[in-house]
Amino acid sequence: MDKIKYFLFLFFIIVYLFPGRVFSQEVVLEFDFQEVTQGDVLSHTFFINYDIKGIVSECECFSAQVLSAPGEIPAKIKVTFDSTGYISQVNQRIILIDKDDNIFAIAIKANVKQ
């Protein structure tokens, strides 16, 4: 429950600070986990040429963390997908904020089978 409260808090802060930009982020990377079995937990690490200061997942099925030090470019971002409770196509975004307050996204999808 604390994860949900934290996510909602971050989401509303981003919406408050950047109205109109939150839902129209530029997608800078796309990744497809392809076909996965329900219950699988999968991870992928991205290297992105931005200095990331904030990161938010649109869904609690995805967690994302910046593994690189502040100011390190490329930034190393690990995204984990927990397919428990999902069936069919899953399409979500990881929202990134760089040091200049630009908002962009990583689009991630998976096809979850039983």
Contact 96, 104 (CB under 8 A): yes
Give the sign of the dihedral formed by CA 28, CA 94, CA 110, CA 37: positive
Given the structure tokens 């076909």, which residue do they identify?
Answer: 35
Determine the Cα–Cα distance for residues 59 and 19; give it in Å rounded to an integer.
20
Q: Dump pLDDT digits (tens) for 47-104.
A: 999 899 889 888 888 899 999 998 899 999 999 999 999 999 999 999 999 888 888 8
Q: Is the peptide bond before 19 cis (omega within 30 degrees of 0)?
A: no
Determine the Cα–Cα distance for residues 27 and 32; give it in Å rounded to an integer.
14
pLDDT confidence of residue 59? 82
Domains and CATH numbers, the chain: 2-113 (2.60.40.10)
**What pTM, to 2 d.p., does this model score?**
0.73
**Residue 37 token pair:** 């079995």
